[in-house]
Amino acid sequence: MDKRKIGQFEVSAIGLGCMNLSHAYGAPPPRDQAERVLKGALDAGYTLMDTAAVYGMGHNETLVGEVLGDRRRDYVLASKAGLSNGDKREVNGYPAVLKATCEDSLRRLKTDVIDLYYLHRYDKRVPIEDSVGALAELVQEGKVRAIGLSEVSAQTLRRAHAVHPITALQTEYSPWTRNPEIAVLDACRELGIAFVAFSPVARGFLAGRVTDPDALDEGDLRRAMPRFQGEAFQANLKLLEGFKALAKEAGCTPAQLCLAWLLQKDEIIVPIPGTTNPDHMIENARAAEVRLSAATMAAVEALVNPQTVAGSRYSPAQHAAIDTEG
């Protein structure tokens, strides 16, 4: 796979988001299937693995550590703290909690250092300078190699970067979620920070894999997202056929169209699609080979954009936990 830079690291142009293997979109897959996804990803050329302490409340880190522990040198390991406290989910950026979370993560991941460690959410009870300061101490202690932030505004990013160099910023970005274009992408370019795009295929929607929200598992977090509800979902479905047609014209799948679009938007962008399906994992990897014409790029943006997508990306309760523009 083509390579991209995330600070000191050279990684595959497309990374693997591991969250789906433990929670969020319904019941996790059987263990053997999860292992096929993880091991197959390394064999397919993925060299960036993205997990977090909160994914399955430790389950995902344990899974990655157990399955890929013997191939630790083959990939850049990213994880996150700040959205859990022990065995409960909560936004918590207090230094002591971040450090304790890191110790637990190192144990679960079966490693002595995490390559890229993100503050998963900005806890507005704690100055960002204090939370990043704690992560900087982990760097000094040799437990973390580089620091990232997730779901923060350009203003917060600048404040954090003044305390310690920020290597990557991770936020949702896809044709149907364009918030980073307001200010964050420009800030990343200016400061020399990589942009890691999560949910790059619109949480499966633009891949054509969600056609009936009522069929989603009860625990699927998309059920609480306005874009997957009622009239908004029906309106968004009307965009899907046109998007599929664009993918066909480009000679790729809809998921690959999303990923190729992101890769061609800017060289600082590294998408991290997640999946529980080994075949979809391979399909996503091959998006790095797709080259889109300027006309196709423009057609994607004309079809799917903030004016044509119905519904906000998060419910009010979900939105309260983030610090992003738009």
Which candidate in 46, 55, 173, 314 is catalytic? 55
Residue 318 CB-half CA count within 13 A: 11
Say whether 253 sits in a helix, a strand or coil: coil
Task: Clarify whether 173 is annotated catalytic.
Answer: no
Look at the block and give the residue holding tokens 């050279």: 10
Q: Which of 11, 79, 67 is nearest to 39 (CA)?
A: 67
CA 310 to chain centre: 22
Q: Among the residues of the chain, which ranges form H helices?
A: 31-44, 59-68, 95-109, 128-140, 154-163, 184-191, 230-250, 254-265, 278-285, 294-303, 316-319
Residues 6+ apart with CB under 8 A from 120: 52, 53, 54, 80, 81, 82, 83, 84, 150, 151
Q: Which residues are catalytic?
A: 55
